[in-house]
Amino acid sequence: MQKEDTNTMRAVRGLEHSDSSVRLRVALAIGTSPDPRFVDKLIERCAVEPEFLVRDMLTWALTRHSAAMTVPRLIDELRPERAPQARSQALHTLSKIGDRQAWPSITRALLTDADDEVARTAWRTAVVLVPEGEEPELAGVLATQLGRGERELQLSLSRALIGLGEAIMPTLRAATTGASSDVRAHAIATERLSRDPNAGFDVAIEEAKRIVALGTSSKEG
């Protein structure tokens, strides 16, 4: 037992090592040989780990553990008082686990979070976890974010909406007549991308802006 405890402590220290390659190897080792004793430490490290590749390995290691153990702990990380990275990484991990018991925790507050990365990750996670039949309601919430941010954020939202399939069409068409020109352009571009995924977002958004500037409908454009 003492040897096992020593190995556990060594792994825990390894997740905090100053060398990111060491942290990566330790996370890989934990995921390769899952142990419930590491779950809390993996989640704790997700909240502060600065390196993307290491965070991704931490998420992978968590997916190797029982969802019954990880999902409740990850849901607890979604509390508004938690740091943005803690929330966004917990959302990302929940999307990889894919357990729909987490769906009620993907709240409107998360989907409209002021932090772009939290909101972006919440959009992707919601599309993965949304129960059948609730896509139109989710589309309605996501549509409130149309026109938000710069290119990359808008592209993320478009992809999330398109991932909901035909359920988005009534919501998008309503948004094309909204008061904001940015919202209208983003809605038109998303609708076009849903019909022609190969069109490219930059082309679609520029064409949508032209349509809005001319005061024509997406069908006329």
d(CA 121, CA 38): 24
Residue listed under structure tokens 């998008």: 172
Q: Do the Cβ atoms of 119 and 145 come closer than 8 Å?
A: yes
Helix axes 84-97, 67-76, angle to 10 degrees: 150
Q: Which residues contact 163 (CB under 8 A, 6 or more apart)?
A: 127
pLDDT, mean over the chain: 92
Q: Which residues contact 166 (CB under 8 A, 6 or more apart)?
A: none
Q: What is the pLDDT of residues 9-66, one digit of tens each?
A: 777 889 999 999 999 999 999 999 999 999 999 999 999 999 999 999 999 999 999 9
Q: Which residues contact 15 (CB under 8 A, 6 or more apart)?
A: 23, 26, 27, 30, 41, 42, 45, 58
Q: What is the pLDDT of residues 58-107, one digit of tens each?
A: 999 999 999 999 999 999 999 999 999 999 999 999 999 999 999 999 99
